[in-house]
Amino acid sequence: MSQLLHTMIRVGNLERSIEFYTKVMGMKLLRKSENAEYKYTLAFVGFGEESTGQAVIELTYNWGTESYDLGNGFGHLAIGEEDIYARCEAIAAAGGKVTRAPGPVAGGSTEIAFVEDPDGYKIELIQKKAMSEGLG
């Protein structure tokens, strides 16, 4: 069976992004590689390795590029959480930016929240008990 392995996002400061995803979001730095010839560095972060069925995030730093136009085509990453209320408190306490406080979606009962990484990418936190029910 096929498996979603990772989502790649371009970042303007790799160390700042690694710190956010590991210290603020609680992920692990799984591996990092540098390509001097083509001037880029990759870092893979996640809650577990792809080999265990987990999807991870590939942080791509193109040397010398400090920011990107995020455009309007990309929406967000989504992470299931046991308690989005406590998680948002912990994220805020660690210096993270909560952009939508935890609560039900408009017109529904699924509880969600949104946070933003240092490059402006949106991350949706979804209360795990509702993940299999679909949003609504």
Active site residues: 124
Distances (CA, A) of 116 to 58, 94, 125: 17, 13, 11
Provide CB contacts within 8 A for 24, sequence distance 6+: 91, 94, 95, 96
Burial classification of residue 73, based on how many CB atoms lie within 10 Å of its CB (0-12 exposed, 13-18 middle, 19 or more buried): exposed
